[in-house]
Amino acid sequence: MSEHQHTYTPPSITRKGSHGDDMTVQCAVAEFGKLAKENKGKKFPYPEITSANLQTMIEFMGESFTAETLNRAVRKIFGGIYIDNVNEKTGLLNQEDWLRDATDFTEGVDTLDSLKEEKGDIQDEISSLIESPDYMAPEEGQPATSEFLAIEERIKALNKCIGPIKRRIANLEQKNAIKAEKRKATKIANEAKAAAAVAAAV
């Protein structure tokens, strides 16, 4: 197995934190998804950010870098929300719909395709991990290998990600259905107004 494929014992990274102290972070393992083309399925180490280590990672990465990265993500989200709620013909923003989407802004960049692809990538990674030759349960009375334990933890973490993604897919499908109904109602109302204007002019 090549070095690029065998990354279940990822390295740690030591660097100066935002307060000037040496900080060491243990990397997690991720897998390139379908859009990576020739790299699809290859695994790579990276410093994972979780809710549990968030404050540590902010110091590790640096407050300025963290703020700039978050701002880029937030601008992308709210740019998408604006485009979704501005009338293409008049250029006017639907304030009510914008406010609703802005309140639920954490789903602002979600699309059904991207969420389904994300879920598929996680499921593919779980399958790949289960089929790994390193994922062999120890014989009775024997200790588990570090590779086995690392894969076991990664599978547990990935399984925890599936449920929230499914809920986001369901929520987005519901939101899209509501928007479609509103667009349909608006179109019917506009056509009725246009017909009434034509009739009045005759």
Total structural domains in the chain? Answer: 1
Per DSSP, helices labelled H in the chain are: 54-61, 63-85, 95-103, 112-130, 146-201
Which residue type, as a one-letter code, is found at position 125? E
Question: Do the domain assignments include residue 196?
Answer: yes
Contact 9/147 with Cβ under 8 angstroms? yes
Q: Identify whether the C-beta of residue 38 lies closer than 8 Å to the C-beta of residue 25.
A: no
Q: Is the pLDDT of residue 159 over 80?
A: yes
Residue 150 domain flag: yes
Question: Is 61 within a domain?
Answer: no
* pTM exceeding 0.85: no
* The two structure tokens encoding residue 47: 């410093």
User: What confidence score (pLDDT) does residue 54 get?
Assistant: 94
CA angle 39, 44, 50 (to 5 degrees): 125
32 inside domain = no
pLDDT-derived band at 36, boundaries 50, 70, 90: low
Half-sphere exposure (CA, 13 Å, Cβ side) for 160? 7
Is 1 domain-assigned? no
d(CA 96, CA 172): 18
Strand partners, 30: 44
The 10s digit of each residue's pLDDT in 80-138 is 888 878 887 888 898 988 898 888 777 645 677 778 888 888 888 898 899 888 898 88
Residue whose token pair is 């100066």: 16
Domain interval for residue 146: 110-202
Q: Please say whether the beta carbons of 55 and 17 come within 8 A.
A: no
Position 170 in a domain: yes
Structural domain includes residue 184: yes
**Arithmetic mean of pLDDT over the chain:** 83
Residue 42 inside a domain? The answer is no
* Per-residue model confidence (pLDDT) at position 57: 95
pLDDT confidence of residue 35 = 60
- Per the rule left: phi > 0, alpha: psi between -120 and 50, beta: everything else, 62 is left
Residue 167 has pLDDT above 60, yes or no: yes
Measured CA to CA, the distance from residue 116 to residue 169 in angstroms comes to 8
- 29, exposed or middle or buried, with CB in 10 Å at 0-12, 13-18, 19+? buried
pLDDT of residue 38: 79
